[in-house]
Amino acid sequence: MSTATTGAANGAAVETSTVPDVEATFLPAGDLVPRESIRSVTPGMGSSRRWKDLLPRAISAAVLAPIALACVWFGGLAFTLLIDAATILLAIEWIRLSRPAGASWLMATGTLWIVLAAAALLWLRADPITGGANLLFLLLLIWASDIGAYLVGRLIGGPRLAPLISPGKTWSGAAGGIAAALAVGWGAVWTTTGTLAWATVISLIFCVIGQLGDLAESWAKRRFGVKDSGTIIPGHGGLLDRLDALLAVAPFAALLALCLGRGVLLWE
């Protein structure tokens, strides 16, 4: 029989759970909690804490999303400058995270992937016929997946998706993200052209790749012993925390566009 304790706000120790043979695990923030407590989320507990980052997230999105959409819409120099600035900041953020850990191979691999993703986004937008539409589709799909996962995961809770990598993610959240991504794909077909079956497949694949990218970044942060990649974006943390899914999906989207040919919509 083991008892796990944690410091209350006033510094006193309070009992959180008493369960038989439960191992303990350290979370990135350094808190010691029972492993049993990270296997599932109970939506009825800690309601105010679960939504405390909603307002800063919404404000950040309201400020950054229009800038990104405007650069995608105008393309050219505006989009190039946006990608160049983001690439430099992402690389700096990644190097600062990985260098103290002494993982030179991780530092090199992550930096190269950031550059690859940036090049993929620039190449996608350079298509004079469908570049803007394809990039807009990609952004909306990833944003919808993130929002769907966040809302459904917080509302429903349930079993953890990968408790030892990212204790905050749940299977219900992953399902919510997939549902939201599919809605974007179907909406693209309904408002433009294409086939529902192909749009479903592409939306599902991109969403899953994005979620895997999110988990990969969470694994890296856990390995480096940090909770967030930075503090530049309120409610999200660093740029890597906000753009991990896009960085994962962009090279695959560019590869698909290359296979389909220039001037073809990704979901068509």
Domain residues of the chain, as ranges? 72-260
Report pLDDT for 226.
86
Report pLDDT for 47.
57
Report pLDDT for 212.
96
Q: Report residues of the chain scoring pLDDT below 70.
A: 1-50, 235-236
Report pLDDT for 137.
97
Report pLDDT for 260.
95
Report pLDDT for 231.
80
Report pLDDT for 60.
84
Report pLDDT for 227.
84
Of the chain, the end-to-end C-alpha distance in Å amounts to: 59
Report pLDDT for 74.
94
Report pLDDT for 86.
95
